[in-house]
Amino acid sequence: MASLTFLGAAQTVTGSRHLLTTASGNRVLIDAGLFQGRKELRLRNWAPWTSGKLDAVVLTHAHIDHTGFLPRLCAQGLVRRALCTEGTRDLAWLLLPDSGFLDVRVDGKRILFSGDLGRYGTSVPVRAKVVQMTGFSAHADWMEEDRWLARAPSPPDRVFLVHGEPPAIEAQRARLSAKGWRVEAPQPGQEVQL
């Protein structure tokens, strides 16, 4: 029987990592994201990986909370292959390599770069005007999610709600449950049989 283990983004927004183990024993990690935000969350990025080797990592998109943990897994030789769209690959190529040379500080409304972007030992000067963007690439709100779910040809067997703070998750769980759907809000580390 297949199973799904919620290793991140469970009852929180970031750290998207969901381990799908197929009935034949293949192990696929859906997203390898970094936890971001509060220190208690960020510390989870440094916890030892105890979920073993992965046949594949599937990246849904390039955001760091979906991809930023991949270098760490690869460095430990745990990933056989990573799968994603070409667009995600192109963005991840920029986002994932060592960003240690890039020091971004938010100073009022200004963001200052000190140092250059470093990739594989080379240094790429940052010659860009840095602007702060709002409302770009945001997550869907519950109404957008509802519209997307309404396109399903038939009600899903089960819905797992992740990638949200507990109050938002609970509110969406209540709304979708009212449709008669089987909706679950997994806890961190929870494994469900599919």
Binding site for Zn ion (CB under 5 A): 63, 65
| Interacting residues of 142 by C-beta distance below 8 A, sequence separation 6+ | 168, 171, 172, 175
Our CB check for Zn ion shows the closer of 1 and 138 to be 138
Our CB check for Zn ion shows the closer of 113 and 160 to be 160
One-letter amino acid of 28:
V
- Do 193 and 6 form a contact (C-beta atoms < 8 A)? no
- Which two tokens mark 125? 């000067």
CA–centroid distance for 112 within its chain: 26
C-alpha span between 41 and 160 (Å, rounded): 21
As measured in angstroms, the least distance from the Cβ of 40 to Zn ion is 19
SS3 of residue 105 by DSSP = strand
Our CB check for Zn ion shows the closer of 18 and 63 to be 63
- Which two tokens mark 100? 């240690």
Closest CA to 166 of 16, 37, 10, 42: 10
As measured in angstroms, the least distance from the Cβ of 64 to Zn ion is 9
- Do 34 and 68 form a contact (C-beta atoms < 8 A)? yes
As measured in angstroms, the least distance from the Cβ of 136 to Zn ion is 13
As measured in angstroms, the least distance from the Cβ of 155 to Zn ion is 25
Closest CA to 36 of 187, 159, 165, 145: 165
Our CB check for Zn ion shows the closer of 65 and 176 to be 65
Our CB check for Zn ion shows the closer of 14 and 21 to be 14
Our CB check for Zn ion shows the closer of 36 and 119 to be 36
As measured in angstroms, the least distance from the Cβ of 9 to Zn ion is 8
As measured in angstroms, the least distance from the Cβ of 76 to Zn ion is 24
